[in-house]
Amino acid sequence: MTRVIIASKSEKLVSTIRNFIVGDGYEVVMVVTNQYELSRQIKTLAPNVVIIDEDLISVGASLIEAILLDQQAILLLGKAYQKGYYHSSPYLELCEKPIQPNLFLMTLRMLTKYSSTVRQLESKIDQLEKRQKAEKKIQAAKRALQCHEQMTEEEAHGYIQSRSMELRISKLEFATRILKRFEKKP
């Protein structure tokens, strides 16, 4: 179930939104009526989407920008020109007021799916970057063994692989030890 925080001072708007989304697979985990509570509850509850009424945001773009930095999906309820205030983000959509039920639900579904996909892709990119850094370090350790211990590349590879298994540590950790050992030598 998709977890949602609704941020609005209007009880009528909150009730309307709740009626739209509860039957559509969304769970309203919190309703907040001020921006300070919103900021605190986002960190505490970690919702999938935050629906924010423009009337709640008195400070303006700063709160929205802060929420977007945390890669939190936001459905902003307001005027069409407002989206231009915020940088292009896969985590932000605008729904004009007065709310039209079908358009609102379509926008919410699209935002939920798109932001989830972007988060997954960003996570995969992070994993690939970590793997690439690890592989570079292992390659550097192999070169250090070739240079300082006169091993061939195959011997250095085998050495790193076998010693890391013997010591029950990752090849990356063993490569780091090798590099530290040779850093100390002149």
Q: CB 178: neighbour CB atoms within 10 A?
A: 22
Average pLDDT of every residue of the chain: 90
In tens, the pLDDT along 147-156 reads 999 999 999 9
The pLDDT value recorded for residue 151 is 95
The pLDDT value recorded for residue 86 is 59
pTM over 0.85: no
Across the strands, what pairs with 78?
96
The average pLDDT across 56-77 equals 80
| Interatomic CA distance for residues 144 and 129, integer angstroms | 23
Q: Which residues have a Cβ under 8 Å from the Cβ of 175 and sit 6 or more positions away?
A: 137, 138, 140, 141, 142, 160
In the chain, CATH 3.40.50.2300 covers: 2-99
CATH 3.40.109.10 fits 2-99, yes or no: no
Whether a cis peptide bond, with omega within 30° of 0, leads into 101 is no
Closest to 38 in 3D by CA, of 56, 18, 17, 24: 56
In tens, the pLDDT along 12-42 reads 999 999 999 998 889 999 999 998 899 899 9
61 or 140, which is more confident? Answer: 140
What CA dihedral angle connects 39, 41, 45 and 50, to 10 degrees?
-60
Fold of 127-184: Arc Repressor Mutant, subunit A (1.10.10)
